[in-house]
Amino acid sequence: MTGATIWLTGLPSAGKTTLARAAADRLRDAGHRVEVLDGDEIREFLSAGLGFDRKDRDTNVQRIGFVAELLASQGVKVLVPVIAPYADSREAVRKRHQREGTGYVEVHIATPVEVCSERDVKGLYAKQAAGEISGLTGVDDPYEEPESPDLRIEAHQQSVEESAAALHALLGERGLA
């Protein structure tokens, strides 16, 4: 089957990991080979030692983009729930896929910061507010919203299953599911 990278970009606690796992389950059930490259896991080994300044965030995204493309080129559906705050970093990953003739789909998980900071799955928004950390994406660090993603999901207005179905439908339209 045709592989592709499906990048889920959005703020911390937007629902990227949650949706990636739900979408992965659907794809597996439909017989696809699937991998999930989650930002947190990647930072534990592949990107261990990298920080959160602009340069290191870009390096992290390019490394993930490299691995994702390799897997996708071998027929795997690769879900990438990674913040990827900078538009030029995301564009470089898209271009790498285009150069290699590998499918690439950008999904913006567009949960607004007010909702994300209430969910605050990892307590980062609270820590930032308390002055314990700085450089939190969308609060005191940039998040450049995708201007024309392949799909924008208002993840705060619909259930996880509805979001996963919308993504699955798009992949179907593209001949990827």
Binding-site residue positions for ATP: 10-17
174 to 105, 128, 167: CA distances (angstroms): 9, 40, 11
One of 65, 69, 78, 81 touching ligand ATP (CB under 6 A) = 81
Task: For ligand ATP, give the closer residue by CB, 100 or 144.
Answer: 144
Quick check: 18 binds ligand ATP (CB under 6 A)? yes
Those residues with Cβ within 8 angstroms of residue 144's Cβ, 6 or more apart along the chain or in another chain: 85, 86, 87
For residues 3 to 22, the per-residue mask of contacts with Mg ion, x marking binding by CB under 5 A and - elsewhere, is -------------xx-----
- Which residues have a Cβ under 8 Å from the Cβ of 64 and sit 6 or more positions away? 37, 39, 42, 46, 47, 80, 82, 93
From the list Mg ion, ligand ATP, none, partner contacted by residue 146 (C-beta under 5 to 8 A by kind): none
What gap in Å lies between CA 108 and CA 17, rounded to an integer?
A: 13
Position 92, amino acid: A
Query: Binds 126, which of Mg ion, ligand ATP, none (CB < 5 to 8 A, cut-off by type)?
Result: none
Nearer to Mg ion, 1 or 121 (CB): 121
What is the contact mask toward ligand ATP in residues 105 to 144, using x (rule: CB under 6 A)?
A: --------------x-xx----------------------
For the beta sheet containing 151-153, the strands, ordered from the edge strand earlier in sequence to the opposite edge, are: 34-36, 77-81, 4-9, 103-109, 151-153
Q: Which residues bind ligand ATP (CB under 6 A)?
A: 10, 12-19, 39-40, 81, 83, 119, 121-122, 155, 158-160, 163
